[in-house]
Amino acid sequence: MGELQELARKLLADGAVKVVIGYEEGPRGVRPAFITTPKDADRLVFDERCVHNLTMYLTPTRKHIAALGKPAIIVKGCDTRSLAGLIRQSQVKRENVVVIGARCGGVLKDPSVKAAIAEDTVADRCRGCTIREPRLVDHLVGEPKPAPPGKSLVDQKIDELDAMTPEQRLAFWHEQLSRCIRCHACREVCPNCFCVRCLADKAEPLESSAHLRGNMAWHMVRAMHQAGRCVDCGECERVCPADIPLRLLNRKIARVIEARFGHRPDDDPESTAPIGSFQPEDGQEFIR
Amino acid sequence: MTRKAFITESDVRALAADLIAAGTRVVAPGRVGTPLGERIEYRVANKVDEILLGQDEPARSLKDFFLPPTDVILAWQEKKDQVELTPVSSTFAPQVIIGAKPCDAAALEIVDKVMDWDYHDELWFGRRAATTIITLACEGGDRSCFCTAVGLEPSGTRGSDVLLTPAAGGYSAEILTDKGEKLVAAHAVRFGADKGADEARAFAEKGRKRVDANLGLKPAEVRKWLAGHFDDAFWKSIALACHGCGACASVCPTCHCFDIVDECEGLGCGVRRRNWDTCQTAKFTMHGSGHNPRADQSSRMRQRVMHKFCIYPERFGEILCTGCGRCARVCPGGMDILEVVSKVNEMACGGAK
């Protein structure tokens, strides 16, 4: 039994937690796992196929997970930014969860096939990874790994879009968003989408129909609500059944927020974010 | 009344070209480029070389062309103190689907039952009547395929007007319906005398064996078990990873639920639309009072399995699943209907084998 499995077994056997949220082998590759008994701890796996950001299972919207009792959760360095965000936004109490950090050298862009991390196999969001040693953890497992290789292609694509005329850019987004079928899977997997009642689930003002007008409204509203909060975990883009390049939207807004407010969502629950904090010296030129 | 013929691949394309030139809408698998890579979808073919006659499964089913994700069902206009309603036409221009998957063609017949149950769905049947389906036999898909476990075949003819099965130099063509006969007669020059029937049979047998290996099911036993285990602890265990996103339902060829909304298109006028909906979301059963009879994700997942393998079979004598495997391929939580139904089957047939 490996280090991770042994730790999970002990946490469950000692009664420190009631469930360990991690990863297991499924019929089509690695998938989220909910281990509730010590004997099942050896089902846990952690490798470069573990693309999922599991922290959304800690949000109050997941009543069926909360009902299992106190959780331990396996997080990658990048996931700790989501966790910090949830703590910052009063969705998770740090003391109510045992955090197991897993050292990570990047995850695969196609996790359905086992492969080594290399420039052409690594997920784009891993490029330029800033959290090599997760800090917001109670336990840390695995050996240190080299930083994921390469430079983000999403940033390149954003530069291309920025260089377009507004008409060209609009045409690009019309083409992308016309594919949306309004399943809202992007919302359901997002650790930041913990609203008890989403605007999109109300009859007004956001149209629920999968026409371009409704799709544009939905994705703009969602992107704006992610401003200063999105950690670019890429889950929305991964799960989209229509392959809409949602990271382009989220990352573009993150870049604007960083340029204007000097803020990048980090792994510190105490840091302040532009949305959710107030400073009298705020410039607020955008209102004038 | 079925008869057999033969068609070469270039003649299939020539047939498509003739149809497109004549202004008939042709729908076929094709590549859709996105910044995230290429995907294969059923799409309206504007040019013949866009048509893929391969074995790859389109990411979404044929449902989109009969029950679109959003569809206008009437228009309304305020007139003083009255509201004038204008229904939409339920007569549609002819369309021909080329290269349908057998499971997707069969799904249409399965869904026909509910669409002609407590009311006759004019839009569904209008599109059904206008559509001729040329299906391409399947070599057996991947590990998530289980059509044979739900009474279908990778070379099955159900729901198809013409079935093409690969044979040396082209396809053995089985003409199955009057609609199919009409299409073939109108393009007789594209079809030759029957040949390759033995090869087609061998292809079908190979495909069946391949899918059979994925899952064996006793549907009657499964139905009985489900009917008697509404409160089984099993349901709590299977939905933990479920996000309730409903991506499964959106790619499902047989999920057919819809919501109805009114939307303004200007001052005092608008349209009524029906939009895909799914039992996997909390909103689906949310009452106006705030009470939700399906309060958690496990009860929603149970509903999905129950409806497909118990409720629909009881009401219509059909399993509401074609075993196409799309829901498993698309699930962000790694949930797998084959795995779930396989476990139910084990319990129904007296424990693990």
Q: First CA to last CA across chain B, in angstroms?
A: 43
pLDDT of amino acid B170? 95
What is the rounded CA–CA span in Å between residue B7 and residue B245? 43
Q: First CA to last CA across chain A, in angstroms?
A: 62
Q: How many of the other CB atoms lie within 10 Å of CB of B84?
A: 10
pLDDT of amino acid B351? 61
- Per the CB < 8 A criterion, the answer to whether A131 and A145 are in contact is no
Of B35, B247, B298, the CB nearest to A183: B247
As a dihedral over the C-alpha atoms of residue A80, residue A82, residue A88, residue A94, rounded to 10 degrees, the angle is: -50
Look up tokens 């590549």; give the residue: B31
pLDDT of amino acid A113? 85
Contact status of B59 with chain A (Cβ, < 8 Å): yes
The torsion angles phi and psi of A188, rounded to 5 degrees, stand at -65, -30
**A33: nearest CA in chain B?**
B241
What is the rounded CA–CA span in Å between residue A116 and residue A28? 18
Contact status of B261 with chain A (Cβ, < 8 Å): yes
- Segment (H or E) for B125: helix B122-130
Where residue B1 falls among pLDDT bands split at 50, 70, 90?
A: low
Q: How far is A245 from chain B (nearest CA, A)?
A: 6
**A19: nearest CA in chain B?**
B240
pLDDT of amino acid A287? 55
Cross-chain Cβ contact A188/B243 below 8 Å: yes
**Binding-face residues of B in 90-149 toward A, CB within 8 A:** 143-144
Q: Decide the pairing of beta strands B95-100 and B82-87.
A: unpaired
Residue B333 scores a pLDDT above 50: yes
Cross-chain Cβ contact A184/B281 below 8 Å: yes
CA B224 to chain centre: 25
| A54 Cβ contact partners less than 8 Å away, ≥ 6 residues apart | A21, A22, A23, A32, A73, A74, A75, A79
Picking from B40, B41, B64, B275 by the largest number of A CB atoms within 10 A of its own CB, the best residue to mutate is B275
Q: Using one digit for the tens of pLDDT, what is the confidence trace for B199-219?
A: 999 999 999 999 999 999 999
**B125 to each of A46, A78, A138, B66, B150, how far by Cα in Å?**
50, 50, 60, 8, 24
Give chain B positions within 8 Å (CB) of A63: 295-296
Look up the CATH architecture of domain A153-261.
Orthogonal Bundle (1.10)
| B282 Cβ contact partners less than 8 Å away, ≥ 6 residues apart | B244, B292, B294, B300
- Burial annotation A211-245 (CB, 10 A radius, 16+ → b, else e): beebbbbbbeebbebbbbbbbbbbbbbbbbbbbbb
Cross-chain Cβ contact A207/B251 below 8 Å: no
**B337: nearest CA in chain A?**
A27
Where residue B353 falls among pLDDT bands split at 50, 70, 90?
A: very low
| % of chain B at pLDDT higher than 90 | 92
Q: Using one digit for the tens of pLDDT, what is the confidence trace for A186-220?
A: 999 999 999 888 888 877 778 889 999 999 999 99
Give chain B positions within 8 Å (CB) of A31: 241, 333-335
Q: How many of the other CB atoms lie within 10 Å of CB of B332?
A: 25
Q: Mean pLDDT for each 10-residue chunk of chain A (288 residues)?
A: 94 98 94 97 96 95 91 97 94 97 95 90 93 94 93 93 97 95 92 88 83 94 92 93 94 93 91 78 64
Predicted TM-score (pTM) above 0.95: no
- Per the CB < 8 A criterion, the answer to whether B174 and B158 are in contact is no
Q: Using one digit for the tens of pLDDT, what is the confidence trace for B33-80?
A: 998 889 999 999 999 999 999 889 999 999 999 999 999 999 999 999
Q: Which two tokens stand for residue A137?
A: 């953890």
Q: Where are the domains of chain A?
A: 3-141, 153-261
Per DSSP, the residues of B291-334 read: --SS-SHHHHHHHHHHIIIIIHHHHHSS-S-----HHHHH-TT-
- Per the CB < 8 A criterion, the answer to whether B297 and B248 are in contact is no
Cross-chain Cβ contact A34/B241 below 8 Å: yes
- Burial (CB < 10 A; 0-12, 13-18, 19+), residue A22, is buried
Contact status of B220 with chain A (Cβ, < 8 Å): no
ω into A205 cis (within 30 of 0): yes
Contact status of B276 with chain A (Cβ, < 8 Å): yes
Give chain B positions within 8 Å (CB) of A238: 332
Whether ipTM > 0.85 holds is yes
Closest CA to B176 of B112, B106, B91: B106
A vs B: CB pairs below 8 A: 116
Which residues of A sit within 8 Å Cβ distance of B?
A: 26-34, 52, 56, 63-65, 67-68, 157, 176, 179, 181-185, 187-189, 201, 203, 207-211, 214, 235, 237-239, 241, 243-245, 248
What is the rounded CA–CA span in Å between residue A271 and residue A89? 11
Closest CA to B17 of B136, B162, B189, B195: B189
Where residue B129 falls among pLDDT bands split at 50, 70, 90?
A: very high
Contact status of B70 with chain A (Cβ, < 8 Å): yes
- Per the CB < 8 A criterion, the answer to whether B123 and B86 are in contact is no
CA B172 to chain centre: 24
